[in-house]
Amino acid sequence: MGMGRPSGAWSTPWSVVVLVHWLLWATERRRGAVVEASHVEFASLQSVPASVVDNRLRTGYHFQPPRNWINDPNGPMYFNGVYHLFYQYNPNGSVWGNIVWAHSVSTDLVNWIALDPAIRPSKPFDINGCWSGSATVLPGNRPAIFYTGIDPQQRQLQNVAYPKDLSDPYLREWVKPDYNPVIAPGDGINASAFRDPTTAWRGPGTHWKLVVGSKWNRRGKAILYRSRDFVHWVKAKHPLHTVKDTGMWECPDFYPVAVKGRRGLDTSAYGDGMKHVLKVSLDLRRYEYYTLGKYYHYQDKYVPDNTSADDHTGLRYDYGNFYASKTFFDPKKQRRILWGWANESDAKDVDVAKGWAGIQAIPRTIWLDSSGRQLIQWPIEELESLRGKHVVVEHKKVSGGNSFEVEGINSSQADVEVAFEVSGLEKAEAFDPSWATDAEALCGRKRADVKGGVGPFGLLVLASANMEEKTAVFFRIFKAEHKHVVLMCHDPTRSSMRPNLYRPTFAGYVDVDIAKTGKISLRSLIDHSVVESFGADGKTCITSRVYPSLAIGKDAHLFVFNNGSADVKVSELKAWEIRRPLMNGA
């Protein structure tokens, strides 16, 4: 449950709220209290609707409702020809609070119809909140939702809900059996850190299994439960996995991926030719990481490979503003699809004034890289159906310190793919080994306006005509002792003339042998106040929220730039305007 904690915008009132929250939390910890505050609430703003919704920076093709606050994607699934997305939603305002499970349906993952909320607080086991969870399709083609409810004692409980009428193609109404909760926190479990059940799976045995995110002190835990009937659940003797000093594990996700090819696997798949993925969202840090490893079905034990760190420095789906993600298996196209939430990074009073907050990132197809060491992500192919007017640039050299504009489209709502040819690697800057675990800090130190050897080169998106505003998406290449290191970065520090905005740099390293290939690709999805970028065909992904004051609509420009001393060449650039789909009635 990514619960509305801010991702920036440190105005004085908010800083005071955070300080008070922290002091209260620390005091309770010293007293040995079990129940901890799990989010900061803006109680006075939770039910303040906007009189007029401000659409100037509202996204055009990303998932969002017509107004109000959204956060975690919940229970995505494909059922009888329809894609379902549930999500955390405040029907009364544009800050976190009053949370229900909103519900939208689609036949193509691009055009969406909003339905009435599927789950609302109504029973003793969820009267104080219906928080995040997952969907599982049971034998007999019967969907089930597993979600976290908050009871009058503020305990986090795991509940189940079923469709009222399976003949309804949209599954509009859901029923919560009175035998809930089906999983309650027992001895040794922190009742205020026990949430976000995964999709259930069955292996070679007869038991259903699922994981609930938790912690004990600072140790993150994926607590495993088993059931024969989906009603009576028993905690396993040991967690599926646990890691010290990682804090609360929110929104865990556990699923298999094929070792070869891009075909997705059902969550219950088992056997040879696959690895498993365990992803957790770190409440302490507000980002996610994942590991790849082997799942021993009979022992119910997950053992990560040693190819990446099993802590906050590990692999991420997205190195930017992307949290509380959830995958599902799409049997229609035999693929696994990833959803993730991109929160706002402006101030809460601005969100209240504009009348909306939060979007879902473009759904991504996800599979295992041929190296077996990381996942690859790519926007779903259906997005390409929205491509409209386009331009092409080929075989254009960009010498050091120069840039050129890509003209001919409205680039405020666009899809851009570019392939760069890189030479002059002898000019690459030396790489300090101490930078290896903190790409974001390196990007902050060597931003787009800091001249380099090979790079920074890439795109300037949502830029004003004279580049007073611009968001830079770029690569910079370094020379380490035995290889070259490729940094991919989002630099929005000059994205807006507005004051008091949170404009963090985001970055990740790209696992490519640039000396061997001499090429690297970049794709950026630009949508008014969000930029999603995919480096090297989806090996490294970064999402940023930005709020230009000049580069809005037709006043937004797109440039290719090179601020390194080595020349680069655009072998091919293709850019499309993206049409607005049907989006929840907005």
Helix (H) or strand (E) holding 235: strand 234-235
Q: With left for phi above 0 and alpha for psi between -120 and 50, is residue 408 left, alpha or beta?
A: left
CA distances 241 to 193, 201, 278, 284, 304, Å, are: 16, 16, 9, 18, 9
Sequence-ordered alpha helix ranges (H) in 490-563: 514-517
DSSP-derived letter for residue 45 is: G
Question: Catalytic residue among 54, 72, 349, 511, which?
Answer: 72
d(CA 38, CA 18): 12
Strand ranges across the sheet with 387-398: 387-398, 568-578, 413-422, 519-527, 530-535, 540-545
Environment class of residue 345 by beta-carbon count within 10 Å: exposed (0-12), middle (13-18) or buried (19+)?
buried
Sequence-ordered alpha helix ranges (H) in 289-408: 348-354
Chain-centroid distance, C-alpha 98: 22
DSSP string, 318-350: -SSS-EEEEEEEETTTTEEEEEEEE---S-HHH
Contact 267, 329 (CB under 8 A): yes
Strand-pair category, 359-360 with 241-243? unpaired
72 is catalytic: yes
Active-site annotation, residues: 72
